[in-house]
Structure 1
C-alpha cells in the first residue's frame, strides 16, 4: 500500500464518521468526482486499509452494562494456547499483548457483575498459562473515539505495513 495522500485520508475520515454515506456525497465532501472517489475506496478496501463497515451500538441498550479491563499474566510461555482461547470468547471484545507487569490487556463487556464473575472463575483463570489476573472496572466512558486520528500526515518514515491476506 502506498503512503496515503490527502484524498485518501479525507475519504477514510468521512467513512469512519458515516460508513453508510452515498458515494456521490462522499465524493463531494472530499473534493473528487464520483468515479475517482469510488476507485480510491475500492483500492483502500483491496489493500486492507478498510477492513469492513459496521454499526456503532450502545452497549447498555443491548444488555452489556459492565465494561471491564483485565490484566493477565502468564506463568509459562503458553501465549498461543491462551490467545487461541481468548480469540473465541465473545465477551472479550479486545485483547492486546502488552509490556509492563502483565502480558495481556483484555477489554471485556458483560451484562453484569455476576456474568463477569462467572467468566473470571469458570473460564479465565483456567485458561492455559494464566498465573495472575487483575481487574479494573470502568465507571463511565469519558471518550470513546472510533475514528482514527487521520487529520494529520504520519511522521513515520516507514511506509504502512502491507495487509495480510
Structure 2
C-alpha cells in the first residue's frame, strides 16, 4: 500500500476518509466523523489535529457563491508581464481583491488569474491596472462543468 507521509506518520485509509468527509462538508461534527470511520471522537480529534499540524489540512472555509453577493461575471486572465515587470505584476495581482486565485505557470504567459466582478466595466478597470506592466488575454467564464475539487486521494491508499 502506497502511503503519503506527513509530520507524525502516514496518511492511512481512515485519514483519507476523514479528509474526504471534511472536504465535502467542513462542518461535519467530530462525532459524525467518528461514526463514519468507526473510531472514538477523541481518536478522530487527534487524527484531525495531527493532519492540521502537519499542514495536510490547511484550513476550513465557507464556500460562497460570487453571484449571490453581486459578482456575476467571472473571468480567467492570462497575463504576460513585460520584461522586468514580473514581480510588479505579481504584487498588483495580490492587491486586487477581485482576483480570487492566481497561479504562476510555464509557457508564454506567466500568470493565470481568476477574477469575479460585478460588470464588464469592472473587468475593464481590473485589466487597466495590469496593462502598464503586462499584456493580458481575458476569457469570460460561461459555466464551470467541473467545479473546484480536490485531486483524487484514493490513489494515495493504493
Give TM-score scaled by structure 1 length.
Answer: 0.84
Say which of 28, 37, 54 aligns to 1:30.
37
Counterparts of 2:142 and 2:148 in 1: how far apart (Å)?
17
Say which of 87, 95, 111 aligns to 1:80.
87
- 1:125-164 equivalence runs, <5 A: 125-126=131-132, 129-130=133-134, 132-153=135-156
Counterparts of 1:52 and 1:90 in 2: how far apart (Å)?
20
Counterparts of 2:90 and 2:148 in 1: how far apart (Å)?
26
* Higher RCO structure, 1 or 2 (CA under 8 Å, sep 6+): 1
- How far the C-alpha of 1:68 sits from its partner, in A, is 0.4
Paired positions, count: 151
1:66-98 Cα shifts (integer Å, max 9, x gaps): 110000112224333322221121111111111
Query: Which residue of 1 is the match for residue 130 of structure 2?
Result: 124
Give TM-score scaled by structure 2 length.
Answer: 0.87
Task: Give the unaligned 5+ runs of structure 2.
Answer: 1-5
Task: Give the unaligned 5+ runs of structure 1.
Answer: 156-165
Counterparts of 1:107 and 1:61 in 2: how far apart (Å)?
17
1:10-43 Cα shifts (integer Å, max 9, x gaps): 1110001111111010111122211111001001
Query: Which residue of 1 is the match for residue 58 of structure 2?
Result: 51
RMSD: 1.7
Counterparts of 2:32 and 2:66 in 1: how far apart (Å)?
30
